[in-house]
Amino acid sequence: MTSKELEEIARLTLEHYDRRAEDFWRGTRDHDVGQNIAALLKHIEAGFPGRIPPFTILDLGCGPGRDLKAFADLGHSAVGLEGSARFAAMARAHSGCEVWEQDFLKLDLPPARFDGVFANAALFHVPGRELPRVLGELHASLKSGGVLFSSNPHGGNEEGWNRGRYGAYHDLESWRRYLQAAGFAELEHYYRPPGLPRAEQPWLASVWRRR
């Protein structure tokens, strides 16, 4: 892909979310991702024994702010990052948290700032060519021993346009290779929603520690 093609992928995907921001919020505001939030916090606590919360958490691709508010309500210092201007405004209003408006392909993150990065339904929008760089930037934004949580729709390592959004659909082994190459060690993975046959679990969740 050329730089121009990457810019077009980001622009059209973000425009898709901007146009459908209210519908997206109505359709997702009641989704229960407590399992994912708990997984991130559990591994942060395990990596910093004796450290007392609150933790500093980046909600990458925070959308309208559902999970950002959940972290804040638990007493953590949560910062959102969102490329869609409409989502970013909604997240600020809903959560009361700071939200950085940044394109995933043009991140500007402070080094060693966060105890955890929560990337729920976000990183699959990054084209495979750019994923090593983006993961490296997230790695650098974590404190030593910090934790990255990701949840993505999995597939057979295909990528392309899907209903107006660009997505990359990795299987577990491919996803592991990307994360390990970026300097992360796997802590756990699971498929969602819980309690269903694998064929009915479209989401692959995984948790990683910065080495």
In the beta sheet, which residues pair with residue 184? 210
**pLDDT category of residue 49 using cuts at 50, 70 and 90:** confident
> Total domain count for the chain?
1
Instruction: Give me the helices (H) in 96-185, please.
Output: 131-141, 172-181
**Both structure tokens of 105:** 């392909």
pLDDT digits (tens, 9 = 90+) for 76-130: 999 999 999 999 999 999 999 999 999 999 999 999 999 999 999 999 999 999 9
pTM: 0.96
Mean local confidence (pLDDT), 175-184: 98
Identify the pLDDT of residue 23. Answer: 95
Q: What CATH number is attached to the domain comprising 201?
A: 3.40.50.150
Identify the pLDDT of residue 52. Answer: 83
Which element (helix H / strand E) includes 169?
strand 165-169
Mean local confidence (pLDDT), 122-148: 97
> Residue 195: left if φ>0, alpha if ψ -120 to 50, beta else—which one?
left
> Residue 157: left if φ>0, alpha if ψ -120 to 50, beta else—which one?
left
Residue 99, CA distances (Å) to 39, 49, 72, 137, 185 in order: 23, 29, 13, 18, 28
Has residue 155 got a pLDDT over 90? Answer: yes
**pLDDT category of residue 176 using cuts at 50, 70 and 90:** very high
Q: What is the residue-averaged pLDDT of the chain?
A: 96
Number of DSSP helices (H) and strands (E) in the chain, helices first: 7, 9
Identify the pLDDT of residue 138. Answer: 98
In the beta sheet, which residues pair with residue 151? 120, 205
Owning domain of residue 36: 3-210
**pLDDT category of residue 142 using cuts at 50, 70 and 90:** very high
**pLDDT category of residue 208 using cuts at 50, 70 and 90:** very high
